[in-house]
Amino acid sequence: MTESLLELSGLTKYFPVMGGLVFKRQVGRVHAVDGVDLTVGAGEALGLVGESGCGKSTTGRLVARLLEPSGGTIRYNGQDISHASRRELKPIRSEIQMIFQDPYSSLNPRHTVGTIISGPMEVNGIQPPGGRQKRVRELLETVGLNPEHYNRFPHEFSGGQRQRIGVARALALEPKLIVADEPVSALDVSIQAQVVNLLQQLQRDLGIAFLFIAHDLAVVRHVSQRVAVMYLGKIVEVGDRQSIYERPRHPYTHALLSAVPEVELPEDGVGTERIRLAGDVPSPIDPPSGCRFRTRCWKAQDKCAAEEPPLIQITGNHEGHLTACHFPEEPTVHGDQEIVLDPALA
Amino acid sequence: MTLPSQATTPEAGSGPSPAAVAGAGGSPMVGRSPAQLMWRRFRRDRTGVTSAFIVAFYFLVAILAPVISMVYGKDPYTTYGQNQPGLLNDYGYPILPNGGVSGDFWFGLEPGLGRDVFMQLVYGIRTSLSIAIVVTIITTVIGVVMGIWSGYVGGKTDYVIGRIIDTLLAFPSQLFLIVFLPVVEAAVVSPEEETPVWLRYVSICVVLTVLGWATISRLLRAQVLSLREREFIEAAKVTGASPFRIIFKELLPNLWTPIIIQSTLALPLYVGAEAGLGFLGVGMTEPTPDWGRMFLVGSNVYHQDITYLIFPGVSMVIFVVAFNLLGDSLRDAFDPKTRR
Ligand SMILES: Nc1ncnc2c1ncn2[C@@H]1O[C@H](COP(=O)(O)OP(=O)(O)OP(=O)(O)O)[C@@H](O)[C@H]1O
Ligand code: SF4
Ligand SMILES: [Mg+2]
């Protein structure tokens, strides 16, 4: 792995939960992100995957410093930016950019495409050679849009095109790291692949590191060199792409993988396992003790409730492939295992 | 849509230079802004355009009152009925039928004082409309500032402003006006002195403003709260934009629509409120002509002379209806999704 550009250690973010009839007071807290350790190398694409509500967006927004962490540190290029103020962040802002999930709310409806894309340059006082307008046209071309469209308004574009505008805006400052928070999940399936390809190409051509957030493993499969699987505010498994997709150890990763529609049939004739998880993710306000996955895990034992499994390299795993589980699964995705935990589907 | 091409267009190759395109204002590549779309939609709305013309007419009358007075050859202060014999009878009512309407006095004469009703109305509209405009502008500015402040900053500020707004909105405002107008004036002028005209004008504006800003402020706060969650605000923050820039460059352009609609709907309300004050005898004092006070005079004489009441009444109804229709049309044009 290359030298790390972004380093998260023990990162936590709690949101207060207010209650009370007349006087609002804090009655609890949402453990949105609860001790996340991650690294992203320069030019590397890391996929961050997990079910809805497990804290992926919160992690992404912490990295982009839209939120201030409750605990832990965020180091960018060795510099601790966990609690940096807007002024202190100024030089780093241009290096960490973000692509948002909703192409309809991420572009100001009252601005032209040109204004939207040149906005970041204006804020940071960047005068590219040849002027901002020329740069905007270049960027539009880079993301596969007609450069003559810079005078148009967002409502004149389709969802996929809008998302490309968002990508162009993120590129305007020539960032080193882009946090892409489910950049394609709001798009039509047919357009998803195009946008994913675009991001992949940018990552390769421009050497930008990506934190690519998605809620299933299918989307990040081709984009990421490494994948981290998140569950209820914690990383449960992280490793290079091959390890995660072919030799997953954590039961949750197995469950997520079995939900990925299989494109090619396995040659050896053995079917892939089918796992259906029961119920919903438990509330992050009061997460289960020990292993957070134990309420839905088919391998759970007493130890799982008592002791939190550390994120470690299990024997037999590749270098850098870490799993947090007391009783890991076999490192394969094949097998006749059919686990249907959902009573509704049984 | 195509996949990203490998930058097949060389710099100077295809496509005009940036400068050339910037100069070509009417090029087909120029998109239509939301504002332009609204304007198109509005122009197609016949009711809206008609009421806009009616409203504009009232504004013209108010602005051009001195010119009208010059052309018409009369002013609102002279007591023509008392100066010229043969206009008013012994009881002070116009001798001619229909309230004394004639070629000389288009809308007739005021019973008692014998002033010209047409001039009274024109100048009365001028007074009332100017108060309403001043109040609308000030309440809008205060409402916008407070609304954005409270919505954007949130927390304690929002709480405090919110409670102030609650209190103001819960007030019976007409009652408050009647009670507080004398209080405001007594604070400035000693009881023996005569209240100057400008002071009455200012205190009406102040009291209406104090009671008025809360509505628009609350509305804008709600708008800001929903806009604040939109991702384009976060996108601006990620690039390092200052709160100042976010408010003025990102939020405000999205707030013009509710601001314009709200102030359009508020203005006739203030005209009504000002007229109400005049009617209750706490509005502009004699001899300043006042639209609302004409109703007070009219209500005293309508048994003998109903004509006097018709002119301010009909003109006020037309004005308020036209203004409200205009407000509705603007809302429809700006917000095509929320058709009533
Ligand atoms: N501003 C906030 N205030 C309170 N709770 C929040 C806030 N933002 C997120 N949460 C909570 O934190 C948890 C994690 O949210 P987050 O948005 O990070 O999840 P996610 O993994 O991105 O989910 P999704 O796939 O639905 O986007 C959720 O339970 C959410 O309700
Ligand atoms: S630690 Fe236990 S409960 Fe958690 S995933 Fe592993 S086996 Fe399941
Ligand atoms: Mg999310």
The overall longest dimension of chain A from CA atoms, in Å, is 66
List of residues 6+ apart from B310 with CB closer than 8 A: none
Q: Minimum-distance ligand to the CA of A52?
A: 1
In a domain, residue B283? The reply is yes
User: Residue B95: how many CA atoms within 13 Å on its side-chain side?
Assistant: 9
**pLDDT greater than 50 at residue B9:** no
Inter-chain CB proximity B32 and A156 less than 8 Å: yes
Please tell me the distance from the alpha carbon of residue A169 to that of residue A270, in angstroms, as a whole number: 46
A294 lines ligand 2 (CB under 6 A): yes
Centre of ligand 1 to C-alpha A32, Å, is: 6
In a domain, residue B24? The reply is no
In this structure, of A336-340, B9-13, B292-296, B315-319, the range with the lowest mean pLDDT score is B9-13
Pairing outcome for strands A234-240 and A79-80? unpaired
In the numeric block, the tokens 């000389």 are attached to B104
Mutate to test the pocket of ligand 1, among A15, A216, A236 (most ligand atoms within 8 A of CB): A15
Inter-chain CB proximity A194 and B1 less than 8 Å: yes
Low-confidence ranges of chain A (pLDDT < 50): 1-2, 263-266, 269, 345-346
Please tell me the distance from the alpha carbon of residue A51 to that of residue A88, in angstroms, as a whole number: 34
**pLDDT greater than 80 at residue B329:** yes
pLDDT for residue B10? 37
A55 lines ligand 1 (CB under 6 A): yes
Q: In the structure, what pLDDT confidence band is assigned to residue B30 with cuts at 50, 70 and 90?
A: low
A309 lines ligand 1 (CB under 6 A): no
Domain of B168, in residue numbers: 56-338
Number of structural domains chain B divides into: 1
A236 lines ligand 2 (CB under 6 A): no
Centre of ligand 1 to C-alpha A38, Å, is: 19
The percent of residues in chain B predicted with pLDDT above 70, rounded, is 89
In this structure, of A94-103, B14-23, B254-263, B283-292, the range with the lowest mean pLDDT score is B14-23
Strand arrangement, sheet containing A177-181: A96-99, A177-181, A209-214, A45-49, A226-231, A234-240, A322-323
Tens of pLDDT, residues A259-294: 776 544 445 545 667 777 767 778 888 888 889 998
In a domain, residue B29? The reply is no
Q: Minimum-distance ligand to the CA of A230?
A: 1
Tens of pLDDT, residues B143-198: 999 999 999 888 888 999 999 999 888 877 778 778 877 787 777 777 677 778 88
CA-nearest of A70, A54, A56, A97 to A12 is: A70
Q: Which two tokens stand for residue B150?
A: 């409270």
Closest Cα in chain B to A130:
B18
Sketch the domain layout of chain A as residue ranges: 4-246, 247-346
Size of interface A-B (CB pairs under 8 A): 116
ipTM of the complex: 0.87
pLDDT for residue A146? 92
Cβ(B334)–Cβ(B261) below 8 Å: yes
Q: Which two tokens stand for residue B8?
A: 């097949």
Smallest CA separation from ligand 2 atom 1, residue:
A325
**pLDDT greater than 80 at residue B3:** no
**Residue type at A171 in one-letter notation:** L
In a domain, residue B3? The reply is no
Nearest to B33 among A90, A153, A198 (CB): A153
Closest Cα in chain A to B17:
A134
In a domain, residue B11? The reply is no
Centre of ligand 2 to C-alpha A337, Å, is: 17
pLDDT for residue B22? 39
Nearest to B235 among A100, A137, A149 (CB): A100
Tens of pLDDT, residues A123-165: 998 898 888 999 999 999 999 999 988 888 888 899 999 999 9
- Encode chain A in three state secondary structure: CCCEEEEEEEEEEEEEEEECCCCCEEEEEEEEEEEEEEEEECCCEEEEECCCCCCHHHHHHHHCCCCCCCEEEEEECCEECCCCCHHHHHHHHCCEEEECCCCCCCCCCCCCHHHHHHHHHHHCCCCCCCCHHHHHHHHHHHCCCCHHHHHCCHHHCCHHHHHHHHHHHHHCCCCCEEEEECCCCCCCHHHHHHHHHHHHHHHHHHCCEEEEEECCHHHHCCCCCEEEEEECCEEEEEEEHHHHHHCCCCHHHHHHHHCCCCCCCCCCCCCECEEECCCCCCCCCCCCCCCCCCCCCCCCCHHHHHCCCCCECCCCCCCCCEECCCCCCCCCCECCCEEECCCCCC
**Which residues in chain B are closer than 8 Å to A123, comparing Cβ atoms?**
236, 239-242, 245
pLDDT for residue A255? 87
pLDDT for residue A324? 93
In a domain, residue B15? The reply is no
In a domain, residue B28? The reply is no
Is pTM beyond 0.90 here? no
Please tell me the distance from the alpha carbon of residue B277 to that of residue B288, in angstroms, as a whole number: 14
Tens of pLDDT, residues B98-120: 777 777 777 878 887 888 888 88
The percent of residues in chain A predicted with pLDDT above 90, rounded, is 50
pLDDT for residue B13? 35
**What CA dihedral angle connects A96, A188, A106 and A137, to 10 degrees?**
70
CATH number at residue B156: 1.10.3720.10
A233 lines ligand 1 (CB under 6 A): no
CATH classification of A4-246, choosing from 3.40.50.300, 3.30.2130.30, 1.10.10.10, 3.10.129.10? 3.40.50.300
pLDDT for residue A19? 75
